[in-house]
Amino acid sequence: MTDVNRLAEMIQSASAITILTGAGVSTASGIPDFRSANGLWMEDRSREYYMSNRYFSKNPIDFWKKYKEIFRIKLLQNYEPNAVHTFIKDLEKIKKNIFVITQNVDGLHKAAGSREIIEYHGSLDTASCPVCGTKVSFDQILKEDVPHCINVSCGSIVRPDIVLFGDPILKHNEAERCVQSSDLLITLGTSLQVSPFNLLPEYAVYDCGIPAAIVNRELTVMDSLFSCKIHGDLSETILELGREVF
């Protein structure tokens, strides 16, 4: 039995599945992996400084310039879900309860139609006014070099709805509740370097006693947690897995 066969059997036996996704899920859609061995974050570590809550507060105009460059905001509307997003959505069609917990901020799980999604680090699709709380759409973000609140009585520079460096993680407890209600955890396309997201597999295995599987191009420091490990191209693995599952 191959590892793909084994994962297919694990999926078929489960009724509720939590799927953790990282940057590797979106690379086939043309979105760069920021944290892989050759990722964009490795090119310039000052990105973490510029993408921080502190820098936004200090220099919101330059923050927005760098934010749009780093996240390629003008190109975001051209990205489409790929076979991995579709596979996750299609698991719902075979009566599986699927909870997606994603590190990605690109909105592609929503675009693919998945029903239960926790955007653990937020979304690039919107921004919010730090003064009055008004939401700003992606179209408005594109319209202005430095987006401002659309509330005419306010007009403050808005803040993107993603978790910046220095921000607290607000959705971890919600993510743990999804894990608690599942009988399988699958991790796709993440190196599991970022905390506290990387605590979720450990929580699943040790605290909840559910099996866990990982599919990732590279080995991770947390591989020992997983009873099924597949290292290789994620898109190719998912296509093979789809032939087994559906």
Which residues participate in catalysis according to the annotation? 121
| Phi, psi (rounded to 5 degrees) for 31 | -90, 125
Binding site, residues?
129, 132, 149, 154
Beta strand pairing call for 135-136 and 184-188: unpaired
Binding site for Zn(2+), residues?
129, 132, 149, 154
**Which ranges constitute the DSSP H helices of the chain?**
3-13, 40-43, 47-50, 53-58, 60-70, 73-76, 83-91, 108-112, 138-143, 172-180, 200-202, 234-245
What is the rounded distance in angstroms from the CA atom of residue 102 to the CA atom of residue 84? Answer: 13
Residue pair 20/188 in contact by the 8 Å Cβ criterion: yes
DSSP string, 155-171: -PBPEEEE--BTPPP-S
| Dihedral over alpha carbons 56, 57, 59, 64 (to 10 degrees) | 30
What is the rounded distance in angstroms from the CA atom of residue 132 to the CA atom of residue 156? Answer: 9
Q: Which helix (H) or strand (E) holds 114?
A: none
